[in-house]
Amino acid sequence: MDSLIAPPATPEGAVTKIEFRNIQKVYRVKKENGGGYDDFVVLKDFNLDVYAGEFLTLVGPSGCGKSTLLDLLAGLIPLSGGEIRIDGRIIDGPAMDRGFVMQAYALFPWLNVQANVEFGLTIKKVPKKERRAISGHFLELVGLTAFANRYPHELSGGMKQRVAIARALAFDPEVLLMDEPFAALDAQTRETLQDELLDLWEKTGKTVVFVTHSIDEAVYLADRIAVLASNPGRLIELVNIKLSRPRQGSRGSAEFGWIRHKIWRYLQNDEGGQEPIPELGVPNVAEVIDSRAAL
Ligand SMILES: Nc1ncnc2c1ncn2[C@@H]1O[C@H](COP(=O)(O)OP(=O)(O)OP(=O)(O)O)[C@@H](O)[C@H]1O
Ligand SMILES: [Mg+2]
Q: What is the pLDDT of residue 11?
A: 67
- Over residues 38-44, the mean pLDDT reads 93
CA atoms of 27 and 38, how far apart (whole Å): 8
CB-ligand 1 contact for 66 (6 Å cutoff): yes
- Over residues 196-211, the mean pLDDT reads 90
The better pLDDT of the pair 113, 101 is held by 113
Which band of pLDDT confidence, cut at 50, 70 and 90, is reported for residue 287? Answer: low
Per-residue pLDDT tens for 232-286? 899 998 999 988 899 998 999 988 998 898 899 888 876 544 444 444 444 455 5
Q: Whose CA is nearest to atom 25 of ligand 1?
A: 62
CB-ligand 1 contact for 37 (6 Å cutoff): no
Q: Is the pLDDT of residue 177 over 90?
A: yes
CA atoms of 123 and 114, how far apart (whole Å): 14
CA atoms within 13 A on the CB side of 50: 30
Q: How far is the CA of 64 from the centre of ligand 2 (A)?
A: 8
Which sequence spans correspond to the domains of the chain?
2-97+173-293
User: Are 152 and 106 in contact, with CB atoms under 8 Å apart?
Assistant: no
Ligand 1 test: best mutation among 26, 28, 42, 64, most atoms within 8 Å of CB? 42
The better pLDDT of the pair 4, 91 is held by 91
Mean of pLDDT over the chain: 85
Q: How far is the CA of 196 from the centre of ligand 2 (A)?
A: 23
Ligand 1 test: best mutation among 37, 68, 209, 230, most atoms within 8 Å of CB? 68
CB-ligand 1 contact for 163 (6 Å cutoff): no
Q: Is the pLDDT of residue 199 over 60?
A: yes
Q: How far is the CA of 267 from the centre of ligand 1 (A)?
A: 18
Ligand nearest to the CA of 38: 1
CA atoms of 292 and 58, how far apart (whole Å): 16
Per-residue pLDDT tens for 159-173? 898 899 899 888 888
Ligand 1 test: best mutation among 40, 69, 212, most atoms within 8 Å of CB? 40
CB atoms within 10 A of CB 59: 26
Q: Whose CA is nearest to atom 5 of ligand 1?
A: 27
Which band of pLDDT confidence, cut at 50, 70 and 90, is reported for residue 34? Answer: confident
The residues with which 90 forms a beta bridge, in sequence order, are 85
Q: Whose CA is nearest to atom 13 of ligand 1?
A: 63
Q: Is the pLDDT of residue 4 over 80?
A: no
CB-ligand 1 contact for 42 (6 Å cutoff): yes
Q: Whose CA is nearest to atom 24 of ligand 1?
A: 62
Measured in degrees and rounded to the nearest 5, phi and psi for residue 247 equal -110, 10
Structural fold of domain 2-97+173-293: Rossmann fold (3.40.50)
User: Are 6 and 288 in contact, with CB atoms under 8 Å apart?
Assistant: yes
